[in-house]
Chains A and B, each alone.
Chain A
Amino acid sequence: MNSMSDSNRSNTTAAIAASLKKRYARERRFQWYGRLAVLTGFIFLFILLTDIVIKGSPAFTQHFIKLDIDFNTEVLGISQNATAEEISGADFSAVVKDSLRTMFPDVSGRKEKKALYRLISIRAEYTLRDMVLENPALLGTNAEVWLLAHSEAGSYLKGQVDASAPESDRKVKDIQVVWLDTLAKEGRTESRFNSTFFLSGDSREPELAGIKAALYGSLFTLLVTFCLAFPIGVLSAIYLEEFAPRNRLTDLIEININNLAAVPSIVFGLLGLAVFINFFELPRSAPLVGGVVLALMTLPTIIITSRAAIQAVPPSIQEAAMGVGASKLQTVFHHVLPVAMPGVLTGSIIGMAQALGETAPLLMIGMVAFIMDVPGGVTDPSTVLPVQIYLWADSPERGFTEKTSAAIMVLMAFLILMNGLAVYLRKRFELK
């Protein structure tokens, strides 16, 4: 009897011992799956960020080409002592073309000439015009001038074009490669910081396109969003936390807020189009409408985080205030809200960051227009940074790809700044 159970037990022990190795192996495998999953997430993040940085960083420099410009009055078609108006109307592109032809005298034929002129950006004529307007004594003299290179020539000078690829596959042709190499050898090319990118609006020419208009558009839009969403959000949170009676209406409001948080952003765009533009006839493409739509979209985020912050205020503070005779409203505004403020601000900043990165609803209300001018107010037509990214990403010109990535880097820098601020506020809040 005894020996029977002994042998039974030893059988079981043997069976367990035999399976242990397998079970431990499975345990190790399982842990590796977990590590692998975390690692995959990291790899995706790494690829995403490096891809954008590698594509975008060349956009922060641009190349200039030094030309010997002869401000020949005959070529310009004006007299030696021309008025400012005449100078403005003069044909400065002819001067640039002349200079290029003198430098490469053996260029012949329409096609080759056209390729030669394409080395220099069309902004060159405006640069020269401004120079002469500032100093009319230049007329009739020679000067060495650094002029902005065309985006295609620039991309070759940045080393982005593989000259050994078949000629039909690239925008920069063999003959241009020869010219650019000559210019580079003579020390006539120079890479400089691309200030155009930060100081001008959109343009059809990649080398002239910048994000200033979009940045101002984003600024105005966020201003409207903040002015609406912050007060309404905080006041709603106060109402729901401190004043709301327990009844059906309050439940309805709470359910609505939770649902709005999950409504796809594009639906807010439909709301903006149908209500604000079609019904109230507010201007299309304006930061005003964009800001209102984004405010409605970020409202749930701000309400939910503000409520959490208000909830976290110790009841002793309220009780103390009530105890010395403060009314409910005084208690909330003099004592609860100031203590909850860091938390409320954290939530609002996160909401604003969300609004800054949002694109889809703004497409609906017409903020996709081609905007060259910096908007001056909340009713001027404008675009925002994410929409500018979308527009450039859609553009077939290769030169815009690096602009897109660079604009993404700027956008991400703002987002990191805002989130960093939010994290800082939260940290300080936790220390209390």
Chain B
Amino acid sequence: MQTTTVFLILIALCVISFYTGRKRSQIVAMQHGGLDTLHSLPNHYGYMAAVWAALPALFVLLVWMGFESSVLHALVVGQLPQNIQQLPPDELGLYYNQVQGFARGAIDSAQLDEAQISAAEYYIRTVTSFSQMKATLVFVVAIIGALLAIRRVTPVFRARNHVEKIFEWVLFSSSFVAVLTTLGIVLSVMFEAIRFFQIIPVQDFLFGLQWSPQMAIRANQVAASGSFGFVPLLVGTLLISTVALLIAVPIGLMSAIYLSEYASRRFRAVTKPVLEILAGVPTVVYGFFAALTVAPFIREMGESVGLNVASESAMAAGLVMGIMIIPFVMSLSDDIINAVPVSLREASLGMGATMNETIRKVVLPAALPGIVGGILLAASRAIGETMIVVMAAGLSAKLTINPLEAVTTITVQIVTLLVGDQEFDNPKTLAAFALGLVLFFVTLLLNFIALHVVRKYREQYE
């Protein structure tokens, strides 16, 4: 039986348990002299029955699904002839994959030998009996759970407290998903990165000036042995991010100043949402815009003044990325400028300073830490941005700080390394995780500093 079917029947069982529990509590209450004798509402007894039908059964289902494939693997391999069981693990894995593929109807029988076909038949039999066993087990657990809960229905039983206690745990586990996600990210990326560093030394990665991960994925492929120097990627990333910030910070900051200090309320009410559309445009759209419109335009411009511009120049990607983060810089600086106390402005204006002197000499210095924090957040956004650079930046890692040349970035390399063939014991695939680790910690660090700076700044005026 399909897992979805099992799941749907389980939901139906929960609904039935709910009504049975509720009915049971009403009957019990009537025997003891009316509904008033119950500690909790009949619904609570129903919820209790439903929860006890659902939770243990779900637990069993999850555990089963977690172990199913490895048990299946062990059983099927145990059926194979001795000489095949002696094969090295990766060849055995390939052999097993073929069996699996045939059993699922993905591979033609012509590619397989006798033993594999019989193993595939055994595989199909086992899968069928497993899924029957799974369904039976889950349903039995659900029904037992519900029955036990329903048996406990008595007028003095505190069903509400019981249900609410369980529900508080459900609430807690939902919010714990965030912690598990972070843990999952750190562990998975770290685990693969460590495997990478076992093959490529850390210092070669961190200080190497050459990045060319053209490594053979399969043993018989012809390719140079790769070199994994991370510096050109870092420089490329920083170059594009710098161009982006040079566009976004002046425009975003000046817009924020104008909108919060000069503009009329109505102008501001119209302008701000319109500029924020820029933040809602999907990054893939920016990538398309950068690759097909901006990059050719910049190249033609450069050629008309005699400059040699690469068709995938860092300038194009950076410019478009800058456009993308304008609203981000704008709303962050807006918040921060508005947090500067009005009394500071009034003092300065009262001394006869003009508005722009007030802004430049009083408001901005007071807001500086917050603005720096905002710029750091924008920088972390730019460093982690993927689609624009994947579509508009180059692939070859060149160590240059000329924005008219093509450079590559960390995110571009992660994407190119992982799209297509993957082999989790090859440094080419594992390198992507090492890059991911660096990316994760760099953005984490930037955010941490930025949030710290912003909070410190806010506290100053509260």
Contact residues of A with B, CB < 8 Å? 23-24, 26-27, 30-31, 33-38, 40-42, 44-45, 47-48, 51-52, 55, 231-233, 235-236, 238-240, 243-244, 252-253, 256-260, 262-271, 273-275, 278-279, 281, 296, 299-300, 303, 327-329, 353, 356-360, 363-364, 368, 386-387, 389-390, 393-394, 401, 404-405, 408, 411-412, 415, 419
Name the one of B184, B250, B391, B422 contacting A390, with C-beta atoms under 8 angstroms: B391
Taking a contact as CB atoms closer than 8 A, the residue among A279, A353, A360 that contacts B283 in the complex is: A360
Residues of B close to A257: CB separation below 8 A = 178
Chain B residues with Cβ below 8 Å from A30 are 355-356, 359-360
B414-A259 in contact (CB<8A): no
Stretch in B9-17, B76-84, B379-387 touching the partner: B379-387
CB distance from B330 to the nearest CB of A (A): 8
Question: What would 17 A/B residue contacts be, using CB atoms closer than 8 Å?
Answer: A26-B354, A34-B258, A37-B258, A42-B275, A45-B278, A239-B174, A262-B447, A271-B184, A296-B177, A360-B411, A363-B390, A363-B419, A390-B391, A393-B287, A393-B391, A408-B285, A415-B282
Q: Give Cα distance in the complex from A243 to B357, angstroms.
A: 49
Q: Mark B435-462, 1 if CB is under 8 A from A, else 0.
A: 0100110011001100100000000000
- Return A330 CB to nearest CB of chain B, in Å: 8
**Beyond known contacts A52-B289, A262-B377: 10 more, CB 8 A cutoff:** A27-B354, A37-B250, A40-B251, A243-B168, A260-B182, A263-B443, A359-B386, A360-B411, A393-B288, A412-B282
Q: Which 6 A-B pairs have the closest CB atoms?
A: A264-B384, A34-B258, A357-B282, A37-B254, A274-B188, A236-B175
Smallest CB separation, A18 vs chain B (Å)? 15
Given contacts A37-B255, A38-B258, contact A265 B168 (CB under 8 A): no
B354 touches A265 (CB 8 A): no
Task: Determine if A389 and B288 form an interchain contact, defined as CB atoms under 8 angstroms apart.
Answer: yes
Contact A243 B171 (CB under 8 A): yes
A394 contacts which chain B residues (CB < 8 A)?
391
Whether A34 touches B387, Cβ cut-off 8 Å, given contacts A45-B274, A271-B184, A274-B192, is: no
Give the CA-CA distance A296 to B436 in the complex, in Å.
Answer: 17
Instruction: Answer yes or no: B396 CB below 8 A from chain A CBs.
Output: no
Contact A33 B444 (CB under 8 A): no
B326 close to chain A: CB less than 8 A: yes
Interface size class of B (residues with CB under 8 A): 35 or more
Query: Among A33, A42, A232, which residue has its beta carbon within 8 angstroms of that of B174?
Result: A232
**Which residues of chain B have C-beta atoms less than 8 A from A386's C-beta?**
282, 284
In the bound complex, residues from chain A placing their C-beta under 8 Å from that of B259 are 34, 38
B433 and A368 contact, CB distance less than 8 A: no
Inter-chain contact B284/A390, CB cutoff 8 Å: yes
Query: Distance in Å from the Cβ of B142 to the closest Cβ of chain A?
Result: 20
Q: Is B157 an interface residue (CB 8 A)?
A: no
Min Cβ gap A368→B in Å is: 6
